[in-house]
Amino acid sequence: NAGVTQTPKFRVLKTGQSMTLLCAQDMNHEYMYWYRQDPGMGLRLIHYSVGEGTTAKGEVPDGYNVSRLKKQNFLLGLESAAPSQTSVYFCASSRGTGKFQETQYFGPGTRLLVL
Amino acid sequence: GQSLEQPSEVTAVEGAIVQINCTYQTSGFYGLSWYQQHDGGAPTFLSYNALDGLEETGRFSSFLSRSDSYGYLLLQELQMKDSASYFCAVRPRPGSYQLTFGKGTKLSVIP
């Protein structure tokens, strides 16, 4: 099993450009998440999905859109990139079984630089 | 709102024991988790406490006191490879698997 994979690993954008980050998981997990990580800020939730076809806003959703057309994929889109979106983006997934404990499994991250 | 406080940096000697504290103020509480992240790597799950007390997993232990809104991660027999950032995270709402993360504690293990 590959676990959680992210594409691309690194990207440089100019202000105003658009791009899509792809997350894929092969663990048949129901829940998927997109986080951003900035120095000294920890991980902040952007958007999440509780199942195929569903999405919801997290803590810092502005400037981002997401889609979950297939259970195994979760896409994060930036329509018009801004320098403030320079960050490391992590995707994660979890089973969503209803159990009290819910471990999240993270992908390797995408480093995005917006000039 | 949610607020988690943990020290930004901790330094400890190889072979020693170190404790990383986490205090939280959240609108709800349904468990405290700990994640480890090496530089340039992805966060990985370490431990979880839903109830008060100590949970042990090998060299790592985690403690929770819900009445004090406080928990800690204890690392024993420190090894150089334990140098990493450690994040506490709270699940604040039932029926949801969202996590709110602290800003992380950077642990440096020195010889």
DSSP result, A6-44: EE-SEEEE-TT--EEEEEEESS--SEEEEEEEETTTEEE
Cβ-defined contact of B45 to A104 (cutoff 8 Å):
yes
pLDDT of res. B96: 67
pLDDT-derived band at B30, boundaries 50, 70, 90: confident
Q: Cα–Cα–Cα angle for A67, B1, B7, nearest 5°?
A: 100
Q: Do A102 and B101 touch (CB under 8 A)?
A: no
Chain B residue whose CA is closest to A90 = B42
Task: Supply the pLDDT for residue B1.
Answer: 66
pLDDT per position as a tens digit, A22-75: 999 999 999 999 999 998 788 999 999 989 999 999 989 999 999 999 999 999
Rounded (5°) CA angle B82-B88-B93 = 155
CA distance B83 to B74: 14
Quickly state the pLDDT bin for A98 (edges 50, 70, 90).
Answer: low
Distances A80 to A114, B11, B97 between C-alpha atoms, Å: 10, 41, 29
Kindly state the tokens that stand for B79.
């090894």
- The DSSP symbol for B107 reads E
Instruction: Say yes or no to pLDDT of A99 above 80.
Output: no
**What is the model's pLDDT at position B29?**
77
Q: Quick one: pLDDT at residue B50?
A: 84
**Residue numbers in B near A50 (CB within 8 A):** 97
Give the span between the Cα atoms of B25 and A79, in whole angstroms.
35
In tens, the pLDDT along B40-82 reads 999 999 998 888 999 998 999 999 999 999 999 999 999 999 9
Q: Which residues of B touch A109 (CB under 8 A)?
A: 42
Best mutation target among B9, B20, B97 (most A Cβ atoms within 10 Å) is B97
Summarised one tens digit per residue, pLDDT across range B9-21 is 999 999 999 999 9
CA distance A56 to A33: 10
Q: Is residue A97 very low, low, confident or very high in pLDDT (cuts 50, 70, 90)? A: low
User: Can you give the pLDDT at residue A101?
Assistant: 57
